[in-house]
Amino acid sequence: MTSFTWAEALPVVFMALMGVSMLIYVVSDGYDLGVGMLMHRATAEEKDTLVASIGPFWDANETWLVLGVGVLLIAFPKAHGVVLGELYLPVAFMLIGLMLRGVAFDFRAKAREGHKATWDRLFFAGSTITSVAQGWMLGRYVSGFGSGWNYPLFAAAIAVALPMAYVLMGACWLIMKTEGELQSRAIGWAKIAWLPVVVGMVLISMATPWISETVRHRWFALPEIIALSAIPLATGAALWTVRALLGGRLVRGVLCWLPFALMIGVFLLGFLGLAYSIYPFVVIDRLTVWQAASSTEALEFILVGVCISVPAIAGYTIYSYRVFRGKTGELKYA
């Protein structure tokens, strides 16, 4: 077994922190982006309930994105330059989308009745732009920013698949947080999103080894392939269970939380597969965690701040979800 010195272990710790931060962001902001992309399917009254269901959480969820990008910037400055240099345009679109969401969310509260629909459409547009940009960024990152016709095609496929996964996650969130007619409509939205998500995941899983030789060698070597088969099998079982629940009665009652929990599991399994595929690279085939990391002294200094800020962020997140647990009530503005 390989043992790490302190200097070798620190970059791995920060890589894990960055990865976990991005996973929490994708799960937490993913469902509220999904709710935003469902706005156009809801009635005027239902839109207020959709907004109320994510109101206490959506802006705080983005804290994890700030943390993940911050770790990339200060702990892996060489990789930060490469990643954001390659992804400058989609990052700009993502920020535009996030700004649209923030402005629309606040302005719809004070808008006249005739203007409220405009802000709802902008909230939908901001959610969609953000999700598509994130999908494109993920596709380019996984492919190692390769050049050639197949790499943009792969990124475009993920730019379509990730928003659909967010929509499914958002619908499952609404199943958990609402009741009555809106819950029934959310179940229908989840059923519609389920098949494109499954098809997209299958196609992307087949294309990823084709697009990256490193990933192909990692996943299709013996005996690793035997152990790694547990990830796609567990993912398939979770998605099948989600679909089975959507067709039953229990999801309208005591098990309303289970589809959302299973979707979190799907994202977690995807994260584990991605982590295995790229480690020890920060930029696949170009920079390892040790090549991209700041000096040991700098990382030790940063670690002090991380030990203070991360528990505070996690504590606030847990507290907010505990306080606002249960079904969503009527939307009210002070």
Tens digit of each residue's pLDDT (9 = 90 or more) over 38-61: 998 888 888 888 988 888 887 788
Instruction: Give tens-digit pLDDT for 170-214.
Output: 999 999 999 889 999 999 999 999 999 999 888 888 887 777 777
Question: Please, which pLDDT band fits residue 1 given cuts at 50, 70 and 90?
Answer: very low
The pLDDT-based confidence of 143 (bands split at 50, 70, 90) is confident
Joined tokens for residue 126 = 């901001």
**Has residue 113 got a pLDDT over 60?**
yes
pLDDT at 302 exceeding the cut of 80: yes
The pTM (predicted TM-score) of the whole model is 0.92
Averaged pLDDT, 105-120: 80
Statement: residue 159 has pLDDT above 90: yes
Provide the CATH number for the domain formed by 10-321 in this structure: 1.20.1630
Please provide the average confidence, as pLDDT, over all residues in the chain: 88
